[in-house]
């Protein structure tokens, strides 16, 4: 039986209506499900996107470049300029050389007071040449002889050199040891050509003046050392040494003994100094 006021619908219309209603219901459910899922996803923590770590590129420092070692070349040092030597004064002639020698000794502040003679180089060469042979030529000595007389003592019938006699040589020995050996050696070297000429005049044209002087020094250095008291023999002409060993000495060494032991020692020291200066 149908409800009051309703009409019975045809069968096809009813089926269509059911399909439409079903589709709407299914669509509604789908919308609800999708919305719910969306809500769930927003509530859950979302994974953070992985951002690749950006690292600074490693810059490798270039290895130091070691220069190739080439063969070592030693550079020659710059030559040091050598100062030009001062022009040397020309030598005077042998006959006119005495004034020049004296002037140069004065310029070097050497005491020239005891020096005498008008031909200093000639006389010195002759004196030294004889001295190396043990001979003393007094008239060729270019220094003043000692002042005062030779004195003796007589005791118990014997004669001795009076020690006071040695004092007369003190002044000349003081002067000799005061001279500068370097100055003398330089002066000798400068005037060596003139000394050579003077040697040629006395028969030694090939003799080296330096050898002549060194030989004379050796003769004086060979003088023996004796005490203060020296016995003499009086033969009425001249005194002689009582000791035959001393009497047999060359005249140059016997003359050295007359200066006394202290003066001999000082003279020998100076001669050794001069010897070294000449050999340098």
Q: What is the Cα–Cα distance from 271 to 267, expressed in whole angstroms? A: 6
Q: What is the Cα–Cα distance from 170 to 263, expressed in whole angstroms? A: 7
More confident residue, 11 or 240: 240
Q: What is the Cα–Cα distance from 261 to 252, expressed in whole angstroms? A: 15
pLDDT of the residue at 136: 94
Tens-digit pLDDT profile for residues 164-187:
999 999 999 999 999 999 999 999
Q: What is the Cα–Cα distance from 189 to 209, expressed in whole angstroms? A: 9
Tens-digit pLDDT profile for residues 232-269:
998 767 899 999 999 999 999 999 999 999 999 999 99
Contacts of 51 (CB under 8 A, 6+ apart): none
Coil/strand/helix, residue 4: coil
Q: Pick the most confident of 1-15, 21-35, 198-212.
A: 198-212
Tens-digit pLDDT profile for residues 182-208:
999 999 999 999 999 999 999 999 999
Classify residue 124 by burial, with Cβ atoms within 10 Å: 0-12, 13-18, 19+. buried
pLDDT of the residue at 54: 45
More confident residue, 87 or 38: 87
Using the predicted structure, report yes or no on whether residue 152 has a pLDDT greater than 80.
Answer: yes
pLDDT of the residue at 3: 42
Sheet with 158-161: list strands edge to edge: 152-155, 158-161, 231-234, 239-241
Please, which pLDDT band fits residue 74 given cuts at 50, 70 and 90? low
Retrieve residue 27's tokens: 């669509």
In percent, the amount of the chain with pLDDT more than 70 equals: 70
More confident residue, 22 or 273: 273
pLDDT of the residue at 278: 92
Helix H or strand E encompassing 215: helix 209-221
Please, which pLDDT band fits residue 60 given cuts at 50, 70 and 90? low
More confident residue, 33 or 133: 133
pLDDT of the residue at 234: 84
C-alpha distances in angstroms, 37 versus 4, 27, 43, 109? Answer: 47, 15, 10, 130
Residues 199, 129: contact at Cβ < 8 Å?
Answer: yes
Note the helical H segments in 44-167.
Answer: 97-107, 120-131
Using the predicted structure, report yes or no on whether residue 159 has a pLDDT greater than 90.
Answer: yes
Using the predicted structure, report yes or no on whether residue 45 has a pLDDT greater than 80.
Answer: no
Residues 81, 154: contact at Cβ < 8 Å?
Answer: no
Stretch 14-39: mean pLDDT: 45
**Of the candidates 270, 274, 248, the residue with the CA atom closest to the CA atom of residue 175:** 270
pLDDT of the residue at 262: 97
Classify residue 122 by burial, with Cβ atoms within 10 Å: 0-12, 13-18, 19+. buried
Q: What is the mean pLDDT of the chain?
A: 81
Q: What is the Cα–Cα distance from 22 to 28, expressed in whole angstroms? A: 10
Using the predicted structure, report yes or no on whether residue 66 has a pLDDT greater than 70.
Answer: no
Using the predicted structure, report yes or no on whether residue 124 has a pLDDT greater than 80.
Answer: yes
More confident residue, 268 or 69: 268
Give the rounded distance of the alpha carbon of 158 from its chain centre: 61
* Angle ∠(125,225,164) on CA atoms, nearest 5: 85
Stretch 21-25: mean pLDDT: 47
Residues 123, 117: contact at Cβ < 8 Å?
Answer: yes
Using the predicted structure, report yes or no on whether residue 149 has a pLDDT greater than 80.
Answer: yes
């Amino acid at each position: 039986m149908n409800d009051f006021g309703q009409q019975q619908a045809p069968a096809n219309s009813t089926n269509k209506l059911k399909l439409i209603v079903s589709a709407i219901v299914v669509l509604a459910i789908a919308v609800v499900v999708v919305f719910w899922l969306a809500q769930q996803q927003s509530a859950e923590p979302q994974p953070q996107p992985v951002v690749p770590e950006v690292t600074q590129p490693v810059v490798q420092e270039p290895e130091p470049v070691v220069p190739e070692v080439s063969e070592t070349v030693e550079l020659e040092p710059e030559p040091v300029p050598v100062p030009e030597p001062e022009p040397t004064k020309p030598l005077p002639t042998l006959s006119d050389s005495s004034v020049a020698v004296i002037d140069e000794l004065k310029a070097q502040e050497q005491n020239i007071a005891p020096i005498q003679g008008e031909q200093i180089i000639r006389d010195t060469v002759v004196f030294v040449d004889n001295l190396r042979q043990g001979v003393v030529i007094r008239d060729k000595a270019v220094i003043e002889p000692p002042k005062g007389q030779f004195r003796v003592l007589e005791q118990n019938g014997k004669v001795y050199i009076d020690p006071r006699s040695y004092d007369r040589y003190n002044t000349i020995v003081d002067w000799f040891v005061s001279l500068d050996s370097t100055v003398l050696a330089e002066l000798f070297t400068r005037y060596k050509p003139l000394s050579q000429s003077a040697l040629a005049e006395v028969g030694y044209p090939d003799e080296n003046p330096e050898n002549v002087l060194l030989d004379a020094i050796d003769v004086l250095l060979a003088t023996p050392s004796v005490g203060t008291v020296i016995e003499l023999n009086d033969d009425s002409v001249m005194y002689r040494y009582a000791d035959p060993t001393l009497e047999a000495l060359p005249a140059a060494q016997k003359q050295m003994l007359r200066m006394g032991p202290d003066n001999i020692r000082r003279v020998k020291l100076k001669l050794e100094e001069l010897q070294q200066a000449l050999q340098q």
